Amino acid sequence: DRTSLDMSIAIANLRHVFGLKGDVANNVAFQDEQTIIYPSGSNCILYNIETKMQKFISSVDKSGGMTAMALTPNKRYIAVAEKGEKATITIYDLQTLRKKKVLTTTEVQSQQYASLAFSPDSKYLVSQGARPDWTLLYWAWEKSKPMASIRTSTNVSNEVYQVSFNPNDNAQFCVVGNGVFKTYKYNEGTLKANPIQKIEPQNFLCHSWLSEDRIIVGTDTGRMLLFEGQEHKKDFHVSAPVTADSTAGDRAGTAGQSDTSDTSKIQTPVLCVRKYSKGFLCSAGNGIVYMYEKTDERELYKKAREIRIPISADSAQATANMKGALHEIMHMTISPSEETIVAGTRNSQLYTIGLTGAEISKGEHSLFETLSQPFHYDQITGLDVCIRKPLISTCSLDRTVRIWNYENNSLDLTKEFQEEAFSVALHPSGLYVLVGFSDKLRLMNILIDDIQPFKEFTIRGCRECQFSNGGHLFAAVHGNVIQLYATYTFENVGNLKGHNGKVRSIVWSQDDSKIISCGVDGAVYEWSVYTSKREGESVLKTCSYTCAAVSPDGSTTFAVGSDKTLKEISDSQIQREVPAADTVLTQCAISRSGRMLFVGTAQGSIRAMKFPLTVPGEWTEHQCHASSITKMRISYDDGFLFTVGEDACLYTFKIMDKEGRGLKAKDITYAEEILISKSDLQEKDTAMKELKTRVYELNMENEYQLRLKDMNHHEKTKELTEKFIQEMESLKTKNQVLKTDKDKEEAKHEEERQELIEKQHQELQDLESANNQKLMAEYEKYQELQAKSQRMQEEYERQLAAKSESHKQALREQTEQYETKLHEKIGQLEAAHDEQRQTMRIHEETKKQIEEDADREILDIKNMYERRLREEKEGNMRLTGETGIMKKKFKSQEQEIEALKSDINNLNTEKSKLNGVIKSLEKDILGLKKEIQERDETIQDKEKRIYDLKKKNQELEKFKFVLDYKIRELKKQIEPRENDIKAMKDQIQEMDTELERYNKNNTALDLKIEESKQKLKANKEEMALQRQKVHDMEAELKRFRTDVSNCVQYIQDPQMLKSSIVKLNKKYVQSEQFVEAAGMDVDIQKEYARQRDHLERSVASFRKKLTKDQQIHRADNVRIMQENVSLIKEINDLRRELKIARTQISSLKYALNLDQNKKVHDLEANSNVLKKGAPLPGPIISIEELDQSKKIVEIQKSEIKRLRDELRHSINRPLSNGQRLPPMEIAQ
């Protein structure tokens, strides 16, 4: 009943913000050691690192968003630049968090500022305007007055990035940009550029003052230029090596001081430079910060260490290059004590690292840590709130789904996917999440540390999904159709068709009996969940709806859309239309109590509407997001409001109605249950068991160590006690001796003391008599001086009386003289007064005449200027028309210039590509030339080598004949070795027969084992069959329960209830045949149990027998293995000797090609020897015998090869227990 509700506007207090506005210049700064300031949405956040609490500074209403920030050096004020029709700068007091000053001017044509900086004494502010004019202003901000201005860039396309003050001079500052590097000096209302050494134009991205006359400047090519006293002093180069790791987005940067380029490294832009006491920090590349420290050498500064952002190589990231670009550090700040660094990245994340902790170690890579929690960095498309847990789920175009805890303001889970996420819904239990991706709709489990999909639905690009309040159903939008699914059976229970356009919002009623939907077709439909039919409709073709909300009783619907109104719909009719003051409303939400209504706008603000609605509407507006609000939800207990927007920020508000009744909501106990996978649980249990074992072992070890220490301590204590007793006895003796000595010394000192007292008494009497005599003499002198003083005083009194008398006489004379002069002056003054009165009368008459003349002249001048004004107006009208024409021409010229610039850029890119190709081709040509030269040198070396080898070959031929003789002798030595090899073959043959016998026994045992395995397999199949039956019965029981729950809904309709129960009877009641079959199954089960028991006993006996056989065969195999080892050793020795013989034979073969002349000479010599009857120097072997020996050697080689194969086979043959013999090294 509307009359029973008190009309009120709800109260919304900002509680916490998750997100960072990354495109603000200098967007992170330290206020003190624990507090940092950063922008989020349209607010500035003061975040306490220790307590995790936030304070907020709201922006100016209807601003276009923040563009730059600057903090005063005394940490008292902060300046925030905001864009709009006129660029504005707002100064806030950080102690009161209230607005101090607002700075605006007409001297800047730009709608925003690119950079801000305060002077060292915090009294002056420099603001750098953006395009088109790039005007720089020098402000005395406390007076809200610009003192000077200048254009820092004459080219519209050359951007200016940063401005900063000299740390020791209020009047000097530096400006950098694309082709811009200048320092300015303020002097008497003007800004003058200081002369700087000319350098080639570059894109200067950042800079920092290292001292009063030293500046470091970073460029987009990885160069850092050091200027000292306006002169270019030094260059530093920052580059990242191209390694395999760089593909994963974790490239290590290196820095050097040489100008030479290295093809193995790529250039990385220097994005931020910050000074600290030991040197400076610079960020370059994908998430790397280099620390440079001062040196006494010529380099001035040297790289000390690197700090990196830990980038996980996740497959969800499209490319490593994109990941690297997202993690580029754009802003850095250092705490006042230089103990902490905070860095902001391109993808709107905040990282921190301590400079004094153990994480910074010299010469090693250190890693940043996330400051609070990771944020979204792209538009948030989905939002939902859990009923049973204090959880929020969000999804974004950055391909992540995140679970937030709004009770303790933390991020519980985050999961990155391959596709963009468009919608998200949380199950009321908080255990499941439904996410709509570009390819499918996925239902996922929320585990303790992960989000895992377990069911997929073929719904592409689902832009809206929602669980019912009971959680048993969920609705998902598929184009213009709403599909209903059962949460636990995944069955499609209904399809809601009726929309002609895409559905933009769906909402369940509190009793889950209705669904309200709205879409771009201008329709708001009310659907029945049970019948899947439309029960109500409201169609307005001129409005494209974006969101709908339903009252707790389900009778009233509130909808917002593109027509800038909030509509109240009841009974398919629009009851009220509340205009939104020329603002598009994007979202709306109503509390479960029905007393609070909130709407979100396209400008990023939320409105707490006066409820029930009135026309015209009344509301309280809160500026929060920097762009359009995409989703809005209220918690189940009506205590919190949550909003997300295109600015990637999540806002949480504490809400209540005007009487504070939001605090008296039902007390909900949040669930603490979580899901965990079985494998994770098993891993954790295993880890716990291992840790418990380890703890037990450590306890035992500690107890043992303690006992050892106690024993050692007891022994040491005993030793120390004995030693102490001995020392005490010795000290007692020593003490006794010392006491005797002490008594003697005391008597001696007493005698000396008496003598000194007597001596002192005598000296004291002498001094008293001397002092009495001196005192008498001094008293006589005092009496004389006193008489003299009295005589002088009487003399001075007589002189004073004489002087006083003379002074009085002179005073009387001067008084008479001045009184005479005073009478004369009074007479002159009266004459002057008469003359003045006469002059005043003349002046009055003259004044009247002049006024009359002035009135006539004013009328003439007025007529003349009115005529001139008409002429000027006509001229202005004419010039206005000409100005419009010139503006059109100017815009067309600008478009042509932009087109030409784009063409020039394209040509420049093509030119750079072609230059790169030319350079690579030139390098290839140089490499090929070097290769040709090297090959020519190689050919010459080969030719020399061939010539030397020919010479060597000729010499070797000379020794051929002599070596033939040696070969014959060596062949004779081979024969006894062959006999040994034959004996070894026989022994190996006997071993093979024995191995065959064992193999047969093993085969028989394997057959028995296989038979047992088959029986066991049959038993397992029977068990699986029984389990399947049990599973089928459970499924049947589950279906029966489902059907019974479906019957319950007809409890009010007896006819339907009866028919459904009859169907259940037909479907589930068992027949007599089934009962008989069940009786038969009992006998079968008994027989099965008896056979199973018999088989188990058989398997147990087989196992015992198999164990005994395995032990026997293991002993036999060990014995065979030992014999094989001894034989292998003998064979290896023989092979070694054979190898030596082969080496000798091969060396002799080279010597066979001796010179023919030498051969003939030797043959003739041998024939001469034979003729003389003398014996030859050694046995002569014929060629046939030599060939026969070679054949024998070949046969022996083949036999050895066969033996080696058999040995390998026997070594690799498995033992009876399935193991193998250990591998042995066989000499080749």
Average pLDDT over residues 321-329: 65
Dist CA 235 CA 218 (whole Å): 10
Specify the pLDDT at position 248.
35
Split at pLDDT 50, 70, 90, the class of 965 is: confident
Q: C-alpha angle 551/555/557, rounded to 5°?
A: 55
Asked if pLDDT for residue 457 goes beyond 90, the answer is yes
Specify the pLDDT at position 1161.
53
Asked if pLDDT for residue 1193 goes beyond 70, the answer is yes
Q: What sign results for the dihedral spanned by CA atoms 147, 153, 156, 160?
A: negative
Angle between helices 1072-1150 and 1183-1212 (to 10 degrees): 150
Specify the pLDDT at position 250.
38
Structure tokens at 189: 């209302």
Specify the pLDDT at position 1209.
67
Split at pLDDT 50, 70, 90, the class of 593 is: confident
Give the tens place of pLDDT for each residue, 879-888: 888 888 888 8
Give the tens place of pLDDT for each residue, 673-728: 888 888 888 888 999 999 999 999 999 999 999 989 899 998 989 888 988 898 88
Dist CA 139 CA 146 (whole Å): 4
Residue 422 Cα to chain centre, angstroms: 24
Q: Which residue is listed with tokens 């074992």?
A: 693
Asked if pLDDT for residue 116 goes beyond 90, the answer is yes
Asked if pLDDT for residue 403 goes beyond 50, the answer is yes
β-bridge partners, 192: 185
Specify the pLDDT at position 1183.
57
- Quick check: 341 and 289 in contact, CB under 8 A? yes
Q: C-alpha angle 175/177/180, rounded to 5°?
A: 75
Asked if pLDDT for residue 645 goes beyond 70, the answer is yes
Give 1174's Cβ-side CA count (13 Å radius).
Answer: 8
Q: Where are the extended beta strands (E) located within 355-491?
A: 365-367, 369-370, 380-385, 391-396, 400-405, 410-416, 421-426, 432-437, 441-446, 451-457, 465-467, 473-478, 481-486
Structure tokens at 386: 């859990």
Specify the pLDDT at position 1074.
47
Report which of 958, 883, 496 is spatially closest to residue 507, judged by C-alpha positions: 496
Specify the pLDDT at position 625.
92
Specify the pLDDT at position 118.
95
Residue type, 227: F
- Quick check: 215 and 194 in contact, CB under 8 A? no
Give the tens place of pLDDT for each residue, 294-321: 888 777 888 888 898 887 644 334 444 4
Specify the pLDDT at position 316.
39
Q: Which residues contact 1141 (CB under 8 A, 6 or more apart)?
A: 970, 973, 974
Split at pLDDT 50, 70, 90, the class of 529 is: very high
Q: Which residue is listed with tokens 């479907």?
A: 1067
Asked if pLDDT for residue 1073 goes beyond 50, the answer is no
Split at pLDDT 50, 70, 90, the class of 238 is: confident
Average pLDDT over residues 134-151: 92
Radius of gyration (C-alpha) of the chain in whole angstroms: 53
Residue type, 478: H
Strands laid side by side in the 88-93 sheet: 66-71, 77-82, 88-93, 98-103
Split at pLDDT 50, 70, 90, the class of 263 is: very low
Start-to-end CA distance of the chain, whole Å, equals: 103
pTM for the whole thing? 0.59
Structure tokens at 834: 């008469």
Specify the pLDDT at position 597.
94
Dist CA 814 CA 821 (whole Å): 11
Residue 820 Cα to chain centre, angstroms: 100
Dist CA 325 CA 284 (whole Å): 11
Q: C-alpha angle 1044/1048/1050, rounded to 5°?
A: 125
Give 216's Cβ-side CA count (13 Å radius).
Answer: 23
Strands laid side by side in the 279-284 sheet: 270-276, 279-284, 288-294, 301-308, 365-367
Residue type, 841: R
Classify residue 636 by its DSSP letter. T
Classify residue 194 by its DSSP letter. P
Query: Which of 178-187, 274-283, 326-335, 797-806 shows the lowest mean pLDDT across its residues?
Result: 797-806
Residue 1122 Cα to chain centre, angstroms: 63
Phi, psi of 734, rounded to the nearest 5 degrees: -65, -40
- For the chain, what percent of residues have pLDDT higher than 70? 88
Helix (H/G/I), strand (E/B), else coil: 283:
strand
Dist CA 75 CA 122 (whole Å): 9
Residue 913 φ/ψ region, left for φ over 0, alpha for ψ in the -120 to 50 degree band, beta for the rest: alpha
Asked if pLDDT for residue 264 goes beyond 60, the answer is no
Give 420's Cβ-side CA count (13 Å radius).
Answer: 13
Asked if pLDDT for residue 420 goes beyond 70, the answer is yes
Structure tokens at 925: 């040509």
Average pLDDT over residues 784-800: 80
Average pLDDT over residues 815-825: 79
Split at pLDDT 50, 70, 90, the class of 468 is: very high
> Higher model confidence: residue 790 or residue 177?
177
DSSP 1143-1190: HHHHHHHHTT---HHHHHHHHHHHHHHHHHTPPPSS----HHHHHHHH
- Quick check: 118 and 72 in contact, CB under 8 A? yes
Mean pLDDT of the chain: 83
- Quick check: 165 and 125 in contact, CB under 8 A? no
Dist CA 98 CA 101 (whole Å): 10
In total, the chain counts a number of residues equal to: 1228
Asked if pLDDT for residue 568 goes beyond 90, the answer is yes
Phi, psi of 358, rounded to the nearest 5 degrees: -75, -15
DSSP 1023-1057: HHHHHHHHHHHHHHHHHHHHHHHHHHTTTT-HHHH
Average pLDDT over residues 1101-1130: 82
Structure tokens at 221: 């090519």
**Exposure string over 513-536, b if 16+ CB within 10 A, otherwise e:** ebbbbbbbbbbbbbbebeeeeeeb
Q: Which residue is listed with tokens 């806030």?
A: 92
Split at pLDDT 50, 70, 90, the class of 362 is: low
Average pLDDT over residues 102-126: 92
Dist CA 288 CA 255 (whole Å): 12
Specify the pLDDT at position 795.
80
Specify the pLDDT at position 129.
92
Give the tens place of pLDDT for each residue, 479-526: 899 999 999 999 999 999 999 999 999 999 999 999 999 999 999 999
Report which of 318, 313, 324, 334 is spatially closest to residue 253, judged by C-alpha positions: 324
DSSP 886-897: HHHHHHHHHHHH
Split at pLDDT 50, 70, 90, the class of 258 is: very low
Burial class of residue 792 (count of CB atoms within 10 Å of its CB; 0-12, 13-18, 19+): exposed
Asked if pLDDT for residue 166 goes beyond 60, the answer is yes
Dist CA 1097 CA 1103 (whole Å): 10
- For the chain, what percent of residues have pLDDT higher than 90? 36
Query: Which of 156-160, 691-695, 1090-1094 shows the lowest mean pLDDT across its residues?
Result: 1090-1094
